[in-house]
Amino acid sequence: MSKPNRPLDREAKRRLAVIRHVEEVTGNVAQTCRYYGISRQAYYIWYRRYQGTGRIRLTAMAANA
């Protein structure tokens, strides 16, 4: 089980940066995905994980998508 204050690994930090970029900078998923070179499908998988359980889920699932 993950600890709430566990530091994010490199991939989880990247995923969180992408999500925050949409929320705080562009407000546009397609534009952000092109900028980061990821698919919209990947973004929405990450976003659902983040929405459901926050950053811990991004860390725990980093190797799976």
Domain ranges of the chain: 10-64
Does the structure show a pLDDT above 60 at 56? no
pLDDT at 50: 84
- Select from 62, 64, 63, 49 the least CA-distant residue to 12: 62
**pTM value?**
0.71
**What is the DSSP code (8-state) at residue 62?**
G
The tens digit of pLDDT for each residue in 3-49 reads 555 677 888 889 999 999 999 999 999 999 999 999 999 999 999 88
Q: Residue 17: which of 40, 39, 43 has the closest Cα?
A: 43
| Percent of the chain topping pLDDT 90 | 51
Percentage above 70 pLDDT, the chain = 68
pLDDT score at 30:
98
